[in-house]
Structure formats: structure tokens, C-alpha cells
Structure 1
Amino acid sequence: MEGIDHRIVSVNGIKMHIAEKGRGPVVLFLHGLPELCTRSPGFGDTEAPTSIISYTCDHIVNDLVALIDSLGVEQVFLVAHDWGAIMGWYLCLFKPERVKAFVCLSVPFTPRSPQMKPMDRMRGFFGDDYYICRFQAPGEIEVEMVEIGTANVLKTIFSIRKPGPPCFPKGNAFRIRSNASISLPSWLSEDELTYYVTKFDQKGFTGGLNYYRAIDLNWEVTEKWTGVREYIHNGGFKKDGLFLEEAVVMEGVGHFINQEKAEEIGSHIYDFIKKFKQILLVICALFLWVH
């Protein structure tokens, strides 16, 4: 896309790379793994703190608040996907006064369950090969990623279409046969893949994987929110804070709907912000396995 200005800003003790385009009300886009749009900590040209604690929801929300402050505004329209969407929900929960409206892609709000830590629950349901479980040991999955190469890792992630819980068995996490050719999805060009590869080769995947490694820490950080569970399920959360009006469901698409259906998603976002009435739009892919 032409006309994008790139710059580095200092926010909350880290240097963050942001991409800007256009004028008018600020729309903040937050990406997930492995996209590289507005850079969250650990991705691309943004600094990647080594401590997993730096990737907990309270730290990331503080980073986002500092970013919003640096833009000179009190509120932003928020558009987010994947891990960006998860952190977007936390931003709405912790700092609702900073978000004018939220367009969420692929990852709906998930209330905190007080009975069991998330990783224990995931292992119980899906086993140790479940991809989030495999990401937990620092350095382990990264070794396999290095062995098969950044390009093959990204091609595999972007090409996942099978419904259900993705599993990454040890020894061949990405199920890539020797000398096998992995085709790109039709919505991703070779130039785009090369750009992603270049950025991930700067720092590797550890920063992005640390978001998964902080899942149980997020559960601990949000303990005080357990008391609002009934408030959420009985409709109070929707009535007082989110004003959810519509969930758009797209059939025949995968997790990366923001790229696969970029024009349609862009139209939804534009129409939503244009007619904004303090409502929330959630866009999910049908049969999508979400975190």
C-alpha cells in the first residue's frame, strides 16, 4: 500500500514501530501472529523484551495506552485480529475510556474461568500436542522452526484450513515432509511472504510465541475480574460497556479473514466507523477454531 509513513515511537519503555496513513479520526489496527501491521512488542521492528512477563495483558495494555497518548488523542477506533484482538478486549476491559469503538476480527471475548488455569484446561481437552501447549516451553518449538525455515513456517501457518484444534507433534510440528513444496494461499503473494520472512528473521518467533507463554499469567492478572462473571453472562457487560449490535459471520473462510477477504472486511470496518453509534462489531469466520 502506497503513502504509508513508518516511524519509531518510544512507549512505556520500549521502541515501537508504527505505520501511519491518512488523516481524520485515529483508527488503531492491532495485528496478531504472524502478521506485521502496527507492531506489537516482539514483532518486526518493535523491540522484543526477553521476559515473558513483558507480554502479559496488563503490560501490553499499558503499551497501547502509551501509544494512544503518543498520538495525541484520548480515544481511538480499534480494529484488531488474532492476538491483537485478545489484547483489544483487555484494553476495552481495563481502559474502556480510551476506546471509542471496537471492530474485532476472529477472536470473540472469552470470560475468565476461575476453576482452572487455561493451560491445564487446554491440555486436558486437547493433549500435549495442541499447538498452544507446544508453544509453552521457551526455545523448544523455535528449534523446529529454525530447522524447517521461516518461509515454510509462515506458509504452513497461513495455509491452515482444517477446522478443529491444530496439533503440532514433536519432531515434525508443522508436518512438513522433506523437500515438500508448500503452496501459498491465493490471497498471499510471494512479495508479501518475503516481507514477512525478512521481518521475522530479524528477531525470530520468540516474541510472538511469548504471548502464548503468558496465557496463565494473564489468568492470574485478571483474577479480580472473576467477580463480574455473572455481570457478563447476564447481559450487564453488553448493556453498560460494549453495545454489541451485530456479529458478521463469513462462510468458507479461514482464520486470516482480514487478508483472505480484505476488501469485504475493509468495507465492514469503513461502514461501521462511518455510521458509528457507540456499538461494537464482531466479525468471525464460520467453523473457525479460535484461541
Structure 2
Amino acid sequence: MEGIEHRTITVNGINMHVAEKGQGPVILFVHGFPELWYTWRHQIVALASLGYRAVAPDLRGYGETDAPCSIASYTYFDIVGDLIALIDAIAGEDEKVFVVGHDWGAVISWNLCLFRPDRVKALVNLSVAFNPRNPNRKPYETLRALYGDDYYVVRFQEPGEIEAEFAEIGAATVVKEFYTYRSPKPLLLPKGKAFGHPKDAQIALPDWMSEEDINYYASKFEKTGFTGGINYYRNIDRNWELTAPWTGAQVKVPVKFMVGDQDLVYNSYGTKDYIHKGGFKRDVPFLEDVVVLEGVGHFINEEKADEVNKLIYDFFSNF
């Protein structure tokens, strides 16, 4: 997109691709799955025009950033470590930045704020609320018991299995399937049937997503495959083990949270009660606002870009 600069920054031995635009206070945008820096294209242009320096990396395992082979290289600590090194490189050591996260990027951003609140001025997270560590339940078995063996997180666990199914479907179709999933119900990927549609089925795109957008995503995933992004899911139990010292810890930075009411994450077991009945505010004491956008699905920052841009700007302009 016009005016967006691209460069490679080496962080912790990883060559990280970074897109950026603008001058001023830094906003670090952290993407999810199956996303890239490109997920934030609307936010980069808008916030840069409003006096910010918008910075959006491809996280490790994605796009033009290096993808280590080991599954164990994709824990919270690895990804947060990359982001701290990136903040050092773009803003300076000991400087604070604004952070915006979506999906897995929101999960990573919660942990960034949990581990290093000294580096974050304020956080806007989209789609995924803070998930406090439960010392009595490992995440994988909990999810499997709740949603069954076809649940996408469960299907992602066996190395190479879902990648082979995705390769058969093709990267463009896989990206379309994720971006057009509108049901608030859990995403199920039955073995051998993947998304349940014939390979040659026509998938209608929403008005906020173009074939050009799909082609950009597909071109990157065709080159790298989906393994890097899927490896984040393969570390859910390892992350649970590693974060034992943070059991009961609070996220102590100013936070605004946004979610669509049709988002499958918002409609997952217990989430609405946690967000609206006091648990969220207990664990994130500086939570200043929760915005639920009606009729909006999971990819909120692309579906309602103008509205999300305004909400981000209005919040960060207070600091």
C-alpha cells in the first residue's frame, strides 16, 4: 500500500519483516492467525495520518519473517522476546509504546503486558480477552473435553497433519474459509473434510475483503506454509507450564477491549460472563472500556476498520 515502508530488523537472531508508516509515538500492531502485517493495513494508514508511527511486523513463523523449525520456538516467551527486541530497535531501550493486538496477537499482547508492563503505555486488544492461568486445568485437555476431537485447536496439535489437509485445499481457499467464517459456534475441522466444503466450492467474500487481499495472504502462505502460525497452538500446554509463576498476576496497563458480538471467541464457553460480570476487571484492573460491536465477526479490525481506527485513536490520545 502506498507510503508504507518495509524493512528487515534482526531480533534475537530472527530476521523480522516490519511494515511501518508515519512519525510520532509508536503504535505496535500484533497480528493473529492466519494473518500478517497486512491485517493492519487500514490501521497503519489511518493512525499514521493522525500523528503516530504505526509499526506492524510479521511475527516469527509468518510471511517474510524467519520461521524456526522447532515447535518449542513458538512459546509466549519467544514471541514476547521478539517484540521487546523490536521495541528496543524502533523506539529505543527503556521506551514505552502503544500496543494493539488481535486474535493470537491479542494473546501475545496480554503476555507482553504481563511480563513487561514497563514497556507499554496502553493496550487496545481485539477479539480475545485476557485468559488467566488456571493452575488446575491444562488447556489442551480442557478444550478437547469442551469441544471434541474435531475442534480446530485439537486438530492443529499433530505436526504435519492439518498442514497436509491445507496443502490439498490450497492456501487461497484456506484463507477464504477462515475469513468468511461467521458462525458464533466453535470452529470444527473434521478429519479429511476440513471446512466441510468441496475443494472447488465458490466462496463469496464479504464487502470488506477483496480478491486482491486474499491473493496477498495466499502468496505468503503458499511460500511459507501454515506451520509457523499453527505452532503457536502447539505450545498451549507448554505455555501453561512456563507461566506458572504468573498464576494470579494482574495485567497492570491501561486497556481498551473490542469484540464483535458474532465473534466465535466472544461466544465461547464462559467468555461473556468473564468479560461482563467482573472477572475481566478483576484481572485487568486498569481496563477502561469494553466495546461490543453488533453484527461484527472475528476479523473486527478489517470488517469495521473506520470504527476501530477511531476507537484506537480516541483511547491512545488520552496518554
TM-score (norm 2): 0.82
Q: Deviations over 1:52-94 (max 9, x none)?
A: 1111001111111000011133111001101111000000000
> Which residue identity does 2:224 align to in structure 1?
K
Which residue does 2:122 correspond to in 1?
101
> Which residue identity does 1:77 align to in structure 2?
F
Which residue does 2:163 correspond to in 1?
142
Residue 69 of structure 2 is aligned to residue 65 of structure 1: no
Equivalent of 2:139 in 112, 118, 121: 118
Which residue does 2:4 correspond to in 1?
4
Which residue does 1:132 correspond to in 2?
153
> Which residue identity does 2:80 align to in structure 1?
V
Residue 299 of structure 2 is aligned to residue 256 of structure 1: yes
Q: Deviations over 1:211-249 (max 9, x none)?
A: 0001111000111122548x995966544xxx1111011
> Which residue identity does 2:198 align to in structure 1?
R
Residue 83 of structure 2 is aligned to residue 40 of structure 1: no
- The offset of 1:267, in angstroms, is 0.7
Equivalent of 2:227 in 201, 206, 213: 206
* 3-state SS in 1 of match to 2:247: helix
Which residue does 1:15 correspond to in 2?
15
Residue 238 of structure 2 is aligned to residue 217 of structure 1: yes
Distance 1:100 1:227 in 2: 22
* 3-state SS in 2 of match to 1:248: strand
- Aligned in 2, Cα 1:225/1:272: closer, same or farther, shift over 3 Å? same
Distance 1:265 1:57 in 2: 26
Distance 2:247 2:288 in 1: 25
The gaps in structure 2 that reach 5 residues or longer are 38-56, 253-277
Aligned residues between the structures: 272
Distance 2:284 2:176 in 1: 38
* 3-state SS in 1 of match to 2:6: strand
Distance 1:20 1:234 in 2: 32
Distance 1:88 1:171 in 2: 34
* 3-state SS in 1 of match to 2:91: coil
Distance 2:282 2:291 in 1: 22
The gaps in structure 1 that reach 5 residues or longer are 277-291
Residue 264 of structure 2 is aligned to residue 245 of structure 1: no
* 3-state SS in 1 of match to 2:33: coil
* 3-state SS in 1 of match to 2:35: coil
- Aligned in 2, Cα 1:234/1:47: closer, same or farther, shift over 3 Å? closer
- The offset of 1:180, in angstroms, is 1.3
Q: Deviations over 1:172-204 (max 9, x none)?
A: 111121421111122111111111111111110
Q: Deviations over 1:117-164 (max 9, x none)?
A: 100000111111000000000100000001111111011000001112
RMSD, matched Cα: 1.7
* 3-state SS in 2 of match to 1:199: helix
- Aligned in 2, Cα 1:236/1:171: closer, same or farther, shift over 3 Å? closer
* 3-state SS in 2 of match to 1:19: strand
> Which residue identity does 2:207 align to in structure 1?
S
Distance 1:234 1:31 in 2: 22
Distance 2:109 2:292 in 1: 20
- Aligned in 2, Cα 1:101/1:185: closer, same or farther, shift over 3 Å? same
Equivalent of 2:195 in 168, 174, 184: 174
Which residue does 2:218 correspond to in 1?
197
Question: For residues 64-83 of structure 1, what are the structure 2 equivalents within 5 Å?
Answer: 64-73=83-92, 74-83=95-104
User: Are 2:132 and 2:283, in contact at CA under 8 Å, matched by a contact in 1?
Assistant: no
TM-score (norm 1): 0.90
Which residue does 1:161 correspond to in 2?
182
